[in-house]
Chain A
Amino acid sequence: MTDIALQVARVWKLGTDIDTDQLAPGAYMHLGLEGIAPHCLEGVRPEFAAQVCAGDVLVAGPNFGIGSSREQAAGALVRLGVKAVIAPSFNGLYFRNAFNLGLLLITCAQAEQLDDGEQLQWGFEGDIPVLVRANGARLKGEPIPDFLLDMVAAGGLLNQLRTRFGKSPQPV
């Protein structure tokens, strides 16, 4: 069980059914993450990639991450400094890819109550994500197994393997 002190984050609010093509547009998939990330979400929030700050969080409607198995759709957000995505539901394959790349996903039925631009405090009580709104309201997410929280803390599966094989962990 890890208790993380509350962090403050700016909320970027998105709609439902955000798919992997919106996160990692196909036209840039031949490039590395440094080439894909500047185009992340440009179809729905053209200012996003330029204005997002390290530590910000995304809030979205149901079915975040539907579509392809391309893990760059999670890697692009990590590269831009996004700490977490909060939504009522995620595509299963995207869920696995996100944690493998060190991106925290919080499943929260009330996610859509949050406002764009809101300053949100978030952290954990044990394995339960806790969100504290600017008006003091508290929301809880679904519990996240410790091994997935460890993976995020390590910066993803590749960094866990680097440590195991005696190599230095690196940023995504």
Chain B
Amino acid sequence: MKAPSTLAQKLLAKASGRDAVTPGEVVNCRVDLAMFHDSSGPRRLQPMLDELGAQIWDKSKVVLVLDHFVPERDDGARKIVRIAREWSQAQQLPNVYDSEGICHVVLPQKGHVRPGMFCVGGDSHSPTAGAFGAYMFGIGSTEMLGVMVNGELWVRVPHTIRMQWDGQLAAGVTAKDMALHMIGRFGMNGGQYQAIEFCGSAVQALSMQERMTLSNMSAEMGSQVGLIAPDATTQAWLESVGVEQVEMEGLYTDEGAPATTYRFDASALPPQVAAPHSPANTKAVDAFHDVSIQAAYIGACTGAKLEDLRAAASVLAGRKAAAGVQLLVAPASVRDQQQAEAEGVMEVLRQAGATVLATSCGACSGYGGSIPDHANVISTTARNFKGRMGSASAQVFLSSPYTAAASALRGRITDPREVLA
């Protein structure tokens, strides 16, 4: 009989063509999908591929998303975006998404991510795909060159850290609050590049986009991946975007598999806020009730998906942001924005005073220029490193979309449960 295995071990055994793998051993894995964007991809890869005279191993497995430097704000951005467009045309890449949203959200929405896959991305938030039971992590541009040429790369089989969330989240408390709480407890390298697996009743109860938020922020814990075992929720969501025949048999951690487990009570979790300048500076929202804010940013792959927009709108329906608060909304994808328009969610946000920005990485990666200097900003993004959002003098606090919207409403950091009807 086979020894009990974790989900991470099973995914890596499949990718390396073995029956089983052991934590600590190094295996070579075949890549099912390689994603990069305009910043990490063509502008770095093209010169190296040209110099080598090498070809891409399998173009059908490559996805390019233009999301960082679009819409182009200056000549530097125009050059980078032009390289991406011209190179992808010359290469005849079949999967290119230009200005359709942020890569980690667009990738699953276009049906590219499925349970059981082994994927790499040229971006540190690539573990987002772990929400679908896919083993995906970020790599640098030189390593991506290796993948383009070889179609495989090495992985040291990680130990598994299971974050088991029992109970049920309260209304107005989200996956973002769970993520911030764990980063606050374990720190930014607490994951030690091992595999984190989120499990328990509160995780199983999460929608697909909420699960994506959880896996997305596993990057801030320094793990390699942030996995969630696929289930009926995963299957239904994938079928809704046109994926046929979702295979997920056996994609879970066996009873008795080697793992370290930490347990949390979701029912007792209050909304969380991370103070400047680290996601690890997290405390319950109460600790910040006297902090006034001048801007609220609802954006990024972490915090501006359809359900994030709905959460913000549920707080702001029929209300307006406080005087002196700039409310900025940058939906994570065109698809999510269109659905939010159809549901009236975008209109609620505009009526509340929101300025709607482009569906791209925008201010989260410091390219948007929309975060005011010397301001306290509450943001639904993933990182609040000093200067990251384009202003070294801004103080950025991280929160869920509920908390960001409630804070915009009151003009100070606010527990959304105080204002939710």
Q: Which residues of A contact B (CB under 8 A)?
A: 17, 19, 21, 26, 30, 62-63, 66-71, 89, 91-93, 95-97, 100-101, 145, 147, 156-158, 161-162, 165, 167
Contact = CB atoms under 8 A, between A and B. Distances in A.
A26 B187 CA distance: 23
Given A69-B124, A69-B140, A91 B222 contact: yes
A58 to B, nearest CB: 17
Contacts of B123: 69
A69 B385 contact: no
B149 interface: yes
A92 B224 contact: yes
Contacts, number: 85
B145 A26 contact: no
B146 interface: yes
25 contacts: A19-B385, A62-B189, A63-B187, A63-B222, A69-B124, A69-B138, A70-B140, A71-B141, A71-B143, A89-B189, A91-B193, A93-B137, A93-B140, A97-B140, A147-B154, A156-B142, A157-B142, A158-B48, A158-B142, A158-B145, A161-B52, A161-B145, A162-B51, A167-B51, A167-B53
Interface string B272-292: 000000000000000000000
A69 B188 contact: no
Given A66-B189, A91-B189, A97 B143 contact: yes
A17 B280 CA distance: 12
B323 interface: no
A167 B52 CA distance: 7
A19 B140 CA distance: 15
A89 B52 contact: no
Contacts of A167: 51-53
Interface in B27-53: 40, 48, 51-53
B344 interface: no
Given A89-B189, A157-B145, A161-B145, A66 B138 contact: no
A170 to B, nearest CB: 9
Contacts of A161: 52, 54, 145-146, 149
A89 B26 contact: no
A100 B189 contact: no
Contacts of B139: 69, 93, 96-97
A157 B193 contact: no
Given A30-B76, A69-B122, A93-B193, 12 more contacts: A63-B222, A67-B385, A69-B124, A69-B139, A69-B140, A91-B222, A92-B193, A97-B140, A97-B143, A145-B26, A147-B26, A161-B146
Interface in B336-369: 366
B29 to A, nearest CB: 13
Nearest to B387: A26
B188 A66 contact: yes
Contacts of B52: 161-162, 165, 167
Interface string B363-389: 000100000000000000000010110
Contact of B140 (A89, A96, A162): A96
Max chain B C-beta neighbours (<10 A), residue from A71, A101, A165: A71
Contact of A157 (B26, B143, B366): B143
A95 B154 contact: no
B192 interface: yes
A100 B222 contact: no
A104 to B, nearest CB: 16
Contacts of B189: 17, 62-63, 66, 89, 91
A106 B223 CA distance: 19
Nearest to B141: A71
Nearest to B388: A26
